[in-house]
Structure 1
Amino acid sequence: MDAATAPTVQEVLYEVDSHVATITLNAPERMNTISGPMLDELTQLLVRANEDPEVRCVILTGKGRAFCAGLDLRPKGEAGARLMSSASSPTNLNLRNTPPTVMHAMDKPIICAVNGGAAGYGMDTALGCDIRIMAKSAKLAAAFTRRGVVPESGGTWFLPRMIGWSKAAELIFTGRTLSAEESVEWGLASYVVEDDQLMAKARELALDIAGNAPLAVQASKRMMRMGLSEQFNDHVHHVFLQLLPLFKSEDAAEGMTAFMEKRPAVFKGR
């Protein structure tokens, strides 16, 4: 079979089960470094998960020994991994439809199951998720300044908010690599688990989230995101406006009834 007729390998996998969408970066032979087409595919699948009423939580992970080793900067058609020359580097990018922007705008919660190294763009992508669970062998590598660039996909926005200015400055300026345990100590991840328990832990947490009222979960995430740039008085006003339609939802009535009847609630997302 020649190259023209060989089946195309799907570089981003997508599946939904029990209201949980799992998106898997599937280029293990190059440590899931992200090419242009892979970026587009990831964006489309994130939008698909966010718009699917059956999906209540998303797990993002990678296949192989790395979560994502950054952007794939190899020139097309060459096997080498040298950086693109400045003459071939893009100077204009449409950032409205890139994964970091789409992820930040998503109302569905995203859990990143960091299965291995997350470097550069891969680290920023992990930071763009709501919750991070790390395999014991996984690492976060802020290697940007060591490559002569800045965190190009959200790191300079995420890190000061997550861990404070001093720690963020140390991590970005030194280009340091954090182990899974250090990532938890620094406040960049919630859990470290054995490598073979990573997806089980991620799915356990995702199902716990998916079992709650999806409209309330999504509104909570939306309010958290808005709160990053709002004054307190404005924020509580917007929270009240979010509460009004929730009070009228079937799920709110079910939640209250289930509580009074001392039984698990069955939410329908309406």
Structure 2
Amino acid sequence: MTDTQRAVQTASSEVLYAVEDHIATITLNAPERMNTISGPMLNELAALLLRANEDADVRCVILTGNGRAFCAGLDLRKERGDEGLSAASSPTTLDLRSTPPTVLQAMDKPTICAVNGGAAGYGMDTALGCDIRIMAESAKLAAAFVKRGVVPESGGTWFLPRMIGWAKAAELIFTGRTLSARESLDWGLANEVVPDSELMGRARAVAKEIAGNAPLAVQAAKRMMRIGLNETFPDHVHHVYLQLLPLFKTQDMAEGIKAFMEKREPKFVGR
């Protein structure tokens, strides 16, 4: 079995992880409560995102959910005891090195959210934290934070103004509106909408297209896009040049040029 065909799957009760064809799929797996995020789920999701980012065999990550919801938000029910995220049990500070939103935003590996159903609150912010969103026809994005007396706590106030501009972000956050998949596409929050039955097939097709490119170059491009959000153009050009120089020395760049000259598909190895 080749590295490309290697398949690995591990599972906890609430998060599933599998790697195949250079694609890691992370699946929220608490369908009985619409994949609301418990304390243990937060920790495991962060750990699996880090695992995928550090695995040299992984070139793209798909994040999705089991059941009729992608993620209905944080699990705030006090009856879940130590596993819940009630006000009484929540810490007053965060370790930003290991929280899923910051881990997701800092990842060099491209991420695709296959939004299989409702993404509300924390679930919506998590979907927005991915690089690409492919939504099932029945999926929704619910910015219901202010309807629950909270703010978008996991990145929404940072992502939305940058993604759709201040005015549209203000409209969505201040009203707490729910957008259908088609409305999400119209608002620029989804890359595409597909029939429910085709969601994972389409997400894997896009992931395979990404994984077929030189992984070091893809990761460097994502890194530069992220850094570019907060720097001037002259500084950015300088940093891109510094990223480009090491790529000139890679086996993959030589292979890319050779494959182009020979009119064939390149075979990249990540070195």
- TM range, smaller chain: over 0.9
Map of 2:269 onto structure 1: 268
Matched, 1:33 2:39: no
Q: Which residue number corresponds to residue 154 of structure 1?
A: 155
Distance 1:97 1:76 in 2: 26
Residue equivalent to 1:4: none
Secondary structure of 2:268's partner?
coil
**How far apart, in 2, do the equivalents of 1:163 and 1:241 lie?**
30
CA distance in 2, matches of 1:69, 1:230: 35
The whole-number CA distance in structure 2 between the counterparts of 1:102 and 1:258 is 35
Give the residue type in structure 2 aligned to 1:21: A
Aligned to 1:3: none
SS in 1 for 2:78: coil
Query: Secondary structure of 2:269's match?
Result: coil
Which deviates more, 9-18 or 45-54? 9-18
Structure 2 equivalent of residue 163 of structure 1: 164
Give the TM-score taking structure 1 as reference length: 0.93
Change beyond 3 A, Cα 1:211–1:91: same
Counterpart of 2:113, as a letter, is: C
- C-alpha displacement of 1:98: 0.5
Deviations 1:28-70 (A, max 9, x none): 0000000010000000000000000000000000000000000
Find 1:71's aligned residue among 71, 74, 79. Answer: 74
The DSSP-based 3-state class of the residue aligned with 1:161 is helix
Unmatched runs of 5 consecutive residues or more in structure 2: 1-10
How far off its partner does 1:9 sit? 5.4
Name the counterpart of 1:116: 117
2: CA distance, partners of 1:197 / 1:76: 37
* CA displacement 1:79-117 (0-9 Å, x = unmatched): xx9x94x54543223232100000111000000000000
Other-structure match for 2:45? 42
Give the letter for the 1:68 counterpart: C
Write the mapping of 1:180-195 to structure 2, written as runs, cut at 5 A: 180-195=181-196
1:1-270 equivalences under 5 Å are 10-77=13-80, 84=86, 86-270=87-271
Q: Secondary structure at the residue paired with 2:134?
A: strand
- How many residues align structurally? 259
**Which SS does the other structure have where 1:96 is aligned?**
coil
Return the letter of the residue paired with 2:32.
E
Structure 1 residue 76: Cα displacement: 3.9
Percentage identity across aligned positions?
77
Counterpart residue identity of residue 129, structure 2:
G
Residues 124-153 of structure 1, C-alpha deviations (whole Å, 9 max, x = no match): 000000000000000000000000100000
What SS class does the counterpart of residue 156 from structure 1 fall into?
Answer: helix
Q: Secondary structure of the residue that 2:17 maps to in structure 1? A: strand
TM-score (norm 2): 0.93
- Distance apart, 1:10 and its partner CA: 1.9
CA distance in 2, matches of 1:133, 1:16: 19
> In structure 1, how many angstroms separate the alpha carbons of the residues matched to 2:94 and 2:56?
31
Find the aligned partners of 1:241 and 1:142 in 2 and give their Cα distance: 39
| CA RMSD across the alignment | 1.4
Give the CA deviation at 1:77: 4.1
Partner Cα distance (2:200, 2:80) in 1:
34
Displaced runs of 4 or more, over 2 A: 86-96
Distance in 2, matches of 1:17 and 1:9, equals 18
3-state SS of 1:266 partner: coil
Q: Deviations over 1:152-186 (max 9, x none)?
A: 00000000000000000000000000000000100
Given the superposition, is the C-alpha separation of residues 101 and 9 from structure 1 closer, same or farther in structure 2, using an over 3 Å criterion?
A: closer
Find the aligned partners of 1:77 and 1:215 in 2 and give their Cα distance: 43
Partner SS for 1:42 = helix
**1:241, 1:202 → 2: CA distance?**
32
